[in-house]
Amino acid sequence: PSLRYPPRLNCVAELLDRHVTAGRGAHRAVLGDTLTWTYAQLLDHVDRMAHVLRDDMGLVPGNRVLLRGANCPTMAAAILAAFKAGLVAVPTMPLLRARELGIVLDKARVNAVLCARPLACELEQVGGHPPVVYFQDPHTPDGLEARMARHDRPFAPVDTAADDVCLIAFTSGTTGIPKGTMHFHRDILAICDCFPPHVLGAEADDVFIGTPPLAFTFGLGGLLLFPMRVGAAGVLLEKLTPEGLLAAIERFRATVCFTAPTFYRQMTPLVSRYDVASLRRCVSAGEALPVATRDAWRTATGIEMIDGIGATELLHIFISASGADVRPGATGKPVPGYRACVLDDDGHPVGPGVVGRLAVKGPTGCRYLADERQRDYVLDGWNLTGDSYEMDADGYFHYRSRTDDMIISAGYNIAGAEVEDALLRHPAVAECGVVGRADEERGQIVEAHVVLKPGHDGTPEMARALQEFVKEQIAPYKYPRAVRFTDRLPRTETGKLQRFKLRQS
């Protein structure tokens, strides 16, 4: 891909204004539960909001504005308005608690907040927070909607540099406190010019849909930036259930879906009740995609899923399957524009068939806020994502585990994902998570936490059956010596298994 951008660049001019200027203003841009905005209408909302941010709230380029809201067209417009006004958007996950919000406000040195009224409560518990304007609050005279009504002039994109920061994205943090990562205007376009054209073949008549919040860069790219880059439409819905997403795919005739493996698993048994024939591409990210999940989805829909590994630090997906080039069990190959290799503990590249640390280089990269461990993530311009990977002889990259989640039992390295993959093939298993539990004799033992499908009981016989089942499929020493049944697994808002909680349970 050509990733050359002019030195002065405001990404919103390219993603939004350009379409209206080129006569595509009447094309649908964002689709919500109750409202649809064309590109022209989205532009109008973004410009009014940008005026509020600058003229009413007195924000100047470089200021940081924290954004809080569930996925909806207004939240999308708020992010774009911040970019357009030369501000730094700091979107936050809707479920963040007051304590975490306080950390984000503090770390990102936020100057002002735009917050959806239904999410006001946690914010109000943070002492000394910056000034707030609420949206989804049409009857309050100083709410965002009332303020927007008073501005009807166009807003010219602020003349930002291509490498001015426009976004601080916080990691979802499966452990510990959230880390802030900075991204530039050109990064926003670069992710749109790598994955979507090469892997999705995205075009203007596509309709993108999915679950990840806009505050998670998986959702920001997949549901807003990618469709806008090609003049397509993005569906933004709050709090989707598996049934809700299937119904929405049918209702909006969605063509490209973005969600996490667990959500695909939950949708699979329900698919036949909906018409999802419009779907063309299904992207899975956030954690490894088990072969059993891929197979079940293909059987139910006829669609070969696209697995992609992305990271907040790199903004979006950098290794994935591409079109028909899918190797089940592998994530795929570097997305055009990116390079990847596997390193040993001393930082030297290893050859095919050897497990090591994944390193990635490309147009986007990790820039933590000043106080973070930049040195741990970036080495010589290579990003170390914290994942253990293995490349095969054909150049496909196979995920093994998070580097610090590798289970070491009686001297063997065991990747939890491989055991999970085996368990998920069993007809009684709905969800599972495999972790290492401290063991006096073996150092660690493999422990499986299993959610059974309805109609199955977590009896000792079932536990033994699952153990035997795993032994038949993978090297027997990897079988879970402990099996615990549970009703649900601890997951983040982005669908990631919280392994540390399983280890503590």
Positions that interact with ligand 3UK (CB under 6 A): 171-172, 217-218, 285-289, 307-312, 316-317, 331, 385-387, 399, 402, 494
Q: How far is the CB of 287 from ligand 3UK (least distance, A)?
A: 5
Nearest to ligand 3UK of 155, 297 (CB atom): 297
Q: How far is the CB of 312 from ligand 3UK (least distance, A)?
A: 3
Residue 410 near residue 446 (C-beta atoms within 8 A): no
Nearest to ligand 3UK of 260, 429 (CB atom): 260
Nearest to ligand 3UK of 39, 184 (CB atom): 184
Beta-bridge partners for 279? none
Side-chain half-sphere CA neighbours of 425 within 13 A: 16
Q: How far is the CB of 31 from ligand 3UK (least distance, A)?
A: 21
| Helix, strand, coil percentages, rounded to 5, for the chain | 35, 25, 40
Q: How far is the CB of 313 from ligand 3UK (least distance, A)?
A: 6
Nearest to ligand 3UK of 331, 409 (CB atom): 331
Phi/psi class of residue 47: alpha, beta or left (left: φ > 0; alpha: ψ in -120 to 50)? alpha
Nearest to ligand 3UK of 444, 494 (CB atom): 494
Within 10 angstroms of residue 193's Cβ, the number of other Cβ atoms is 18
Q: How far is the CB of 376 from ligand 3UK (least distance, A)?
A: 13
* Residue 35 burial (C-beta neighbours within 10 Å; 0-12, 13-18, 19+): exposed
Nearest to 48, CA basis, from 90, 14, 88, 84: 84
Nearest to ligand 3UK of 401, 409 (CB atom): 401
Nearest to ligand 3UK of 12, 321 (CB atom): 321
Phi/psi class of residue 433: alpha, beta or left (left: φ > 0; alpha: ψ in -120 to 50)? beta
DSSP 8-state class, residue 497:
B
Within 10 angstroms of residue 6's Cβ, the number of other Cβ atoms is 9
Nearest to ligand 3UK of 135, 389 (CB atom): 389
Q: How far is the CB of 319 from ligand 3UK (least distance, A)?
A: 8
Nearest to ligand 3UK of 199, 309 (CB atom): 309
Q: How far is the CB of 40 from ligand 3UK (least distance, A)?
A: 29
Nearest to ligand 3UK of 311, 391 (CB atom): 311
Within 10 angstroms of residue 351's Cβ, the number of other Cβ atoms is 9
Within 10 angstroms of residue 17's Cβ, the number of other Cβ atoms is 20
Q: How far is the CB of 217 from ligand 3UK (least distance, A)?
A: 4
Q: How far is the CB of 308 from ligand 3UK (least distance, A)?
A: 5
Residue 486 near residue 449 (C-beta atoms within 8 A): yes
Nearest to ligand 3UK of 5, 218 (CB atom): 218
For residue 376, give the amino acid letter.
D
Output the residue with the shortest Cβ distance to ligand 3UK. Answer: 310
Q: How far is the CB of 138 from ligand 3UK (least distance, A)?
A: 33
Cα angle for residues 280, 283, 288 (degrees, 5° grid) = 145
Q: How far is the CB of 172 from ligand 3UK (least distance, A)?
A: 4
Nearest to ligand 3UK of 420, 447 (CB atom): 420
Q: How far is the CB of 258 from ligand 3UK (least distance, A)?
A: 8
Residue 51 near residue 155 (C-beta atoms within 8 A): yes
Nearest to 279, CA basis, from 246, 257, 263: 257
In angstroms, the CA 181 to CA 176 distance is: 15
Nearest to 16, CA basis, from 163, 189, 149, 135: 189
Nearest to ligand 3UK of 69, 210 (CB atom): 210
One DSSP character per residue, 229-293 reads HTT-EEE--SS--HHHHHHHHHHHT--EEEE-HHHHHHHGGGGGGS--TT--EEEE-SS---HHH
Residue 233: φ, ψ to 5°: -110, 145
Q: How far is the CB of 361 from ligand 3UK (least distance, A)?
A: 15
For residue 328, give the amino acid letter.
P
Cα of first residue to Cα of last residue in the chain, in angstroms, is 47
For residue 334, give the amino acid letter.
P
Looking at 75-141, which runs of residues are DSSP E strands? 88-92, 112-116, 132-135
In angstroms, the CA 345 to CA 12 distance is: 41
The two three-digit tokens of residue 386, written as one number: 């914290």
Nearest to 246, CA basis, from 267, 216, 261, 262: 267
